[in-house]
Structure 1
Amino acid sequence: MIELRFINPYKVNKSPLQLSYQNNDMDVMGNDAALVMRFTKPHAINTSPLTMRFGDDTGPVDPTLPILQANIGIESSLSWLNPPLITQVKNLAWQTQSVKTEFETAFSNAELVPVAFGFDWQTTALVTVQSSVKWGNSGYVSNVIQMPYKIITAIEYNEKDFNWLTQLDVEHTEFKQHWNSSELLKTARELHWHIKPLLESRELVIHYGETDKEYICYWRNHPFKGYVNLEFTAPATTHNGRLVMRFNNPDKVCYWGLPGGLVRGDDDVPTIDRKIPIEPQLRNTYIMQPTINCVRVSDDLKILINSVNYSISRGQFSATCNIKFCSRIDFERALGHELKISLNGYDFYVICEQPSTSNRFANASYSASCRSRFALLSNPYARATNYANPTAKTLAGIMSDILVNTGWSLDNKMIDYPIPTGAFTYTNLTPAAALLSVAKSVGAILDINDATKTVSVVPAWPVMPWDTANAICDVILNDSIILEHSTSQTISQEHNAVFVRGEQQGVACKIKRAGTLGDQFANDVVDTLITHNQAARQRGTCELANSGNKQNTTIRTKLLDDLPPIRPGMLVGITYTDSVFKATCDSMTINASISDQGAITVSQTIQVISNV
């Protein structure tokens, strides 16, 4: 098939050649006639309006574009107009220690000259570089280069600032360069700290005290050595494109330890322990004036009561209480309301829930069962809901989501760790039950402060029962304030190792008691929140602490100005002559009553657990 295409209208050009004859006074038809050729304008080469193309029946076929072959995962396309290329070398310098990156170009055209780029960084001086690339002899060629050689992520740990140390010798410098054309569009430079002190008038604050362990992360082998080869296998054509270079992620290393400055803090460096135990004074005579007071929180209306029994133990999210009222009027005023009970100056907040009456001849009694204020987040006051973490969160973030819009605040004393997206879910649970479930998953209990509406998540065993000898007690009791004392023992199998596992996005860890062979295994523990080694360590430690023979000691003591209520989870020390017996508080009960003669009695009874 032949296709004829006219690209401009046809026109008849007048010839620039004119012919004339001269006879030199002779006849025109004679033999001596001469021919004269005269050109009246310059000769012009006209372009033919006819274009001939050969192809198939479907239409014209454009030439096949050259195929660019990428090497080692590099997609690239460069624009140029006419060969030959001009050799160009640019040196970019930043950071310390020489790392070389080479760009090699090779074209099939014999006239092309390879182009090499040398990148040399990590030097003593910081140099800001702006560059544009031009090659070819037909003008400027567009070129786009992207170098995402460092993934920009959120900083997990950043400690600052020692900006009173200034001036040169950069210990650590991080450069971020982005460009989208031949001209440098943006260069960001971050200097973290300096050495060679040149002191200025800045405020220096030094913090001291106990330091919590954290995850400390740093980049290893960054930037790393490498090179890039660009191979061109087809002749140069005019084509717009871009060059994309991809680099591997830097190697990131994290370890669990004490945070420090320029030098890593060793894990075995002791912290300053300023824990001071509560220890009532030893006296010959104790003069007591117990008090009982009960008011309605809504309007401070006084409620008369005969007795109150307030108790709480580990594993509960709210305390239970039983109140006996003086009269039916007081009973009706308190029913369904929130009450504040003051015993020897210590306040307890309860909700009067379940009424109970008892009648006999010439005598009637009115009482009610109560729960502490945190019960407002449980049935029947709060509705059960479903939850699934939509984004990656931490343990504290999960618990904060449970308490959102409840008026309660969180005080997390457990080691925090990340939880992947969708790893934690619960169904048909109230906020109080859900928070208790999360705490049990990591071997913790809830310590509720009803006055300030604060929920503290603390370890069920702050001190391991086999390691109480070197621990500092929270409360120390002497025999002069102990009213009653009794002991009993429970026998159970002792374990020194346990396997703790997560689920789809969890981890599997073997937790072993230090100093043992780790050959006596407890039942495996499986929980959705075991998504990190720290979660497995905390839960496994609690499981090992619960095993073994235990000694249960019940102690009834007083409630004094210098002896507040002993809360579950506290380490209690009991002095006998020159020795101290240490155990963990498991439950606490406060009893207060008024006799028929008006005598007031207030005491607290605790149950402590220790290893035998």
Structure 2
Amino acid sequence: MIATEVDAGWRTARQVSARPAASAWSRKPERSLNRASAWGDAQPTEKTTRTDWAAVPALDQGQTGRWESASPTDGGSVAAGFVQVPSKDLGLAGAWDHSIRPADWRVTVSYNPAPAKKDASTAPRYQRVDEYGPRYDAALEVGRSLYVPGNGPLVFNFGDERYAPSNSPSVFFDFRYVPPARVIQPVDSGAAFSWRPARQVGIPMQLLWGRGRPLDPIPTGIDYPDYTGPITIIVPPPAEPDILETYMIANSVSLAVLPDRTPLDATGIRVGLDIDSFAWTLSANLFGRTSLAQVRPDANGPKEVELTINGHTWVFIVERYSGTGKLADERYTITGVSQTQLLAKPYAPARSQSNTVPLNAQQAAELELQYTDFILHWDTWNAGPPDWTLPAGAFSYESKTPMEVIAELAETAGGIVSPSRNSRELTVLPRYKQPVWQWSSAIMDRIIPANIVASWGSEWQPQPEWNSCYVSGTNHGVSVNVRRAGTAGDEPAPDVFHDWITGEQAGRARGIAELCKGGNQEIITLDLPLFPQQTAPGLVEPAMLCEVRDIEETWRGLCLATEITAEGIGASRVKQTLKLERHHREGA
């Protein structure tokens, strides 16, 4: 049975007639029975159940649920939803093969389109801190929260141990302390700083240091094989010339064609170089077509000749010739240049370039000589001019030969290019080894006594007494205002602008060179013999500082140009003509 006893869930019936019913199950009059309910007379079996449900059929009494035990046949046939995997699948080790090629392993990260800036509006929110509130003392707050036993009815004494409640106490106590959140307060919020010009201390004790100059002319001669850095070279003083009553020089002049060293019959030989040129020049007269045929250019290019005067040797490239003649008299004039002219027009091609990485000026000059047999000498540590860094894009030029680039790099830092006489070498030197106002204490290169001077001449060329110069780059670089120490800098020289002035040292060196060009000065011309190499003063080249010991005074000047003339081949009259720049200012 589903229910053994069921109480009636019915309540008093609603009146359906004028006469109220005394009971919902009492016998009604025949006229009322048909109207009060749609049910008929109840069966005797329904009187005890007091419900509308009939007895449950007998076949349902033995079932306790809707599920029955599975039959043996069903349990044996349906054991699981999966069957054994066929043996043909057992040989598969994995689903990967070698179909992917190395070319497919490259991963290209593309940022196009750009990621959405969904986080651009997300920014930390800052609130103003409590700058002037009472200071928070963490130690004091912790001390206030500590429990101190007293004499009250409820006193805790843990015996220096942590509180641990029993297994099933009636009351638990929570001794945790959570400090309240405090507003951030800046430290030293009340401190204030006032800025003012620094106080000058020890003004009477200042020392005016100048440029360091080597005072010991004797080198140590110690080699350091493990040291590869720059080495300071002590420059010895120039050799003292011999002062004699009479000078007798056996001049020796020879001109030969290379490589066979065939001698040439020449006269009127002139060799010259000025401070702004990068090649020695030669001019000579030849007699007859036989001599001209030996130096005339052919399919292999121009010919080279070797000139030797009193032990000083030059090698020239014969560039051109011209001739005049009449019956039984033919004269030809040849002109030549030293080998450094091969780096300029018309031998070297013009090119353009721009650096993509930073490099030094010395490196830029050496790159111009790449794939050539020329050697560059640039002593940035001792002789100068200084080296500096050219950032990416600063070292750029258009349609220039290697020699033009090297000469412009040297000029940028106040330097010049000095060519070698008989080899494929060139040297970058400062135009002024020492500033003009320091010539009185500088080490000279040559000493010229008045006893060897055959003739002289002078030309006065005054210039403003400049004491400052503004040097700056254009698209790249720095700006330097070079001012002579001890002056007000109120007489500025013309400003200098160049795109390659990208270093402070280069700007300083260029500014000094520009200041040295000013002031009262004169150009003095001296004629003197060309002494052999072992005899002072020997050959004087441009950019050398010379000390001239005149009859009345001793003065110093810068060699601007050198010209050597020889009347003919063999024993000939040889003269060396110098053009010196003399400054009339303090310290010169």
Instruction: Tell me the TM-score normalized by structure 2.
Output: 0.57
- What is the CA distance between 1:433 and its match in structure 2? 1.7
- Amino acid across the alignment from 2:401: T
Secondary structure, in 3 states, of the residue corresponding to 1:515? coil
Instruction: Specify the alignment match of 2:293 in structure 1.
Output: 332
Instruction: Specify the alignment match of 1:194 in structure 2.
Output: none
- What is the CA distance between 1:319 and its match in structure 2? 1.9
- What is the CA distance between 1:534 and its match in structure 2? 0.5
Q: Distance in 2 between matches of 1:312 and 1:443?
A: 19
Q: Distance in 1 between matches of 2:349 and 2:330?
A: 36
1:523 aligns with 2:494: yes
1:366 aligns with 2:307: no
Secondary structure, in 3 states, of the residue corresponding to 1:321? strand
- What is the CA distance between 1:581 and its match in structure 2? 1.4
1:594 aligns with 2:565: no
Match of 2:345 among 379, 401, 404: 379
Secondary structure, in 3 states, of the residue corresponding to 2:515? helix
Q: Deviations over 1:258-314 (max 9, x none)?
A: x9xxxxxxxxxxx88442213322223323211111122233222221231011111
Instruction: Specify the alignment match of 2:241 in structure 1.
Output: 280
Secondary structure, in 3 states, of the residue corresponding to 2:386? coil
- What is the CA distance between 1:579 and its match in structure 2? 4.6
Secondary structure, in 3 states, of the residue corresponding to 1:554? strand
Q: Do the aligned partners of residues 585 and 212 (structure 1) sit closer, same or farther apart at CA in structure 2, a change above 3 Å counting? A: farther
- What is the CA distance between 1:605 and its match in structure 2? 0.6
- What is the CA distance between 1:547 and its match in structure 2? 1.8
Q: Deviations over 1:330-353 (max 9, x none)?
A: 122113311110111110111111
Q: Distance in 2 between matches of 1:278 and 1:515?
A: 34
Q: Percent identity?
A: 25
Matches within 5 A, 1:171-210: none
Matches within 5 A, 1:124-203: none
Secondary structure, in 3 states, of the residue corresponding to 1:566? coil
Q: Do the aligned partners of residues 212 and 498 (structure 1) sit closer, same or farther apart at CA in structure 2, a change above 3 Å counting? A: farther
Preserved CA contact (<8 Å) 1:320 1:370? yes
Preserved CA contact (<8 Å) 1:374 1:450? no
Q: Distance in 2 between matches of 1:288 and 1:450?
A: 22
- Amino acid across the alignment from 1:602: V
Q: Deviations over 1:508-527 (max 9, x none)?
A: 11011122111111221110
Q: Distance in 1 between matches of 2:247 and 2:342?
A: 39
Q: Distance in 1 between matches of 2:395 and 2:233?
A: 36
1:497 aligns with 2:468: yes
Instruction: Specify the alignment match of 2:555 in structure 1.
Output: 581
Q: Do the aligned partners of residues 332 and 212 (structure 1) sit closer, same or farther apart at CA in structure 2, a change above 3 Å counting? A: same
Instruction: Specify the alignment match of 2:392 in structure 1.
Output: 421
Instruction: Specify the alignment match of 1:534 in structure 2.
Output: 505
Secondary structure, in 3 states, of the residue corresponding to 1:328? helix
Instruction: Specify the alignment match of 2:373 in structure 1.
Output: 407
- What is the CA distance between 1:506 and its match in structure 2? 0.8
Unmatched 5+ stretches in structure 1: 1-28, 36-48, 50-68, 73-109, 111-204, 215-258, 260-270
Preserved CA contact (<8 Å) 2:376 2:425? yes
Q: Do the aligned partners of residues 341 and 524 (structure 1) sit closer, same or farther apart at CA in structure 2, a change above 3 Å counting? A: same
Q: Which has the higher helix share?
A: 2
- What is the CA distance between 1:354 and its match in structure 2? 1.6
Q: Do the aligned partners of residues 450 and 599 (structure 1) sit closer, same or farther apart at CA in structure 2, a change above 3 Å counting? A: closer
Q: Distance in 2 between matches of 1:494 and 1:577?
A: 28
- Amino acid across the alignment from 1:420: P
1:305 aligns with 2:266: yes
Instruction: Specify the alignment match of 1:458 in structure 2.
Output: 429
Tell which structure's C-alpha radius of gyration is larger.
Answer: 2
- What is the CA distance between 1:532 and its match in structure 2? 0.8
1:353 aligns with 2:314: no
Q: Distance in 2 between matches of 1:381 and 1:534?
A: 34
- What is the CA distance between 1:398 and its match in structure 2? 0.8
- What is the CA distance between 1:361 and its match in structure 2? 5.2
Instruction: Specify the alignment match of 1:291 in structure 2.
Output: 252
Preserved CA contact (<8 Å) 1:331 1:367? no
Preserved CA contact (<8 Å) 2:339 2:423? no
- What is the CA distance between 1:587 and its match in structure 2? 0.5
Instruction: Specify the alignment match of 2:545 in structure 1.
Output: 571
- Amino acid across the alignment from 1:385: R
Q: Do the aligned partners of residues 453 and 523 (structure 1) sit closer, same or farther apart at CA in structure 2, a change above 3 Å counting? A: same
Preserved CA contact (<8 Å) 1:585 1:607? yes
- What is the CA distance between 1:432 and its match in structure 2? 1.5
Secondary structure, in 3 states, of the residue corresponding to 1:376? helix
Preserved CA contact (<8 Å) 1:324 1:366? yes
Instruction: Specify the alignment match of 2:450 in structure 1.
Output: 479
Preserved CA contact (<8 Å) 1:389 1:398? no
Preserved CA contact (<8 Å) 2:250 2:571? no
Q: Which has the higher strand share?
A: 1
Instruction: Specify the alignment match of 1:545 in structure 2.
Output: 516
Preserved CA contact (<8 Å) 2:253 2:571? no
Instruction: Specify the alignment match of 1:153 in structure 2.
Output: none
- Amino acid across the alignment from 2:545: L
Q: Deviations over 1:366-408 (max 9, x none)?
A: 1112111111111221111112122110010110111111211
Instruction: Specify the alignment match of 2:282 in structure 1.
Output: 321
Instruction: Specify the alignment match of 1:470 in structure 2.
Output: 441
- What is the CA distance between 1:440 and its match in structure 2? 1.3
- Amino acid across the alignment from 1:481: I
Instruction: Tell me the TM-score normalized by structure 1.
Output: 0.55
- Amino acid across the alignment from 1:419: L
Instruction: Specify the alignment match of 1:604 in structure 2.
Output: 576
Q: Do the aligned partners of residues 516 and 339 (structure 1) sit closer, same or farther apart at CA in structure 2, a change above 3 Å counting? A: same
- What is the CA distance between 1:476 and its match in structure 2? 0.2
- Amino acid across the alignment from 1:513: R
Secondary structure, in 3 states, of the residue corresponding to 1:466? helix
Match of 2:406 among 429, 435, 450: 435
Q: Distance in 1 between matches of 2:333 and 2:353?
A: 38
Aligned residues: 366
Secondary structure, in 3 states, of the residue corresponding to 2:294? helix
Q: Distance in 2 between matches of 1:422 and 1:569?
A: 32
- Amino acid across the alignment from 1:600: S
- Amino acid across the alignment from 1:371: V
Q: Distance in 1 between matches of 2:572 and 2:453?
A: 18
- What is the CA distance between 1:212 and its match in structure 2? 14
Q: Do the aligned partners of residues 577 and 442 (structure 1) sit closer, same or farther apart at CA in structure 2, a change above 3 Å counting? A: same
Q: Distance in 2 between matches of 1:466 and 1:359?
A: 55
- What is the CA distance between 1:445 and its match in structure 2? 0.5
Preserved CA contact (<8 Å) 1:310 1:320? yes
Q: Distance in 2 between matches of 1:417 and 1:430?
A: 22
- Amino acid across the alignment from 1:328: R
Preserved CA contact (<8 Å) 1:465 1:610? no
Q: Distance in 2 between matches of 1:272 and 1:332?
A: 48
Preserved CA contact (<8 Å) 2:348 2:401? yes
Instruction: Specify the alignment match of 1:388 in structure 2.
Output: 354
Q: Deviations over 1:422-461 (max 9, x none)?
A: 1011111111122112211111111111433221100011
Preserved CA contact (<8 Å) 1:303 1:334? no
Match of 2:363 among 373, 393, 397: 397
Unmatched 5+ stretches in structure 2: 1-57, 65-80, 82-121, 126-175, 177-220, 297-301, 380-384
Q: Do the aligned partners of residues 526 and 394 (structure 1) sit closer, same or farther apart at CA in structure 2, a change above 3 Å counting? A: same
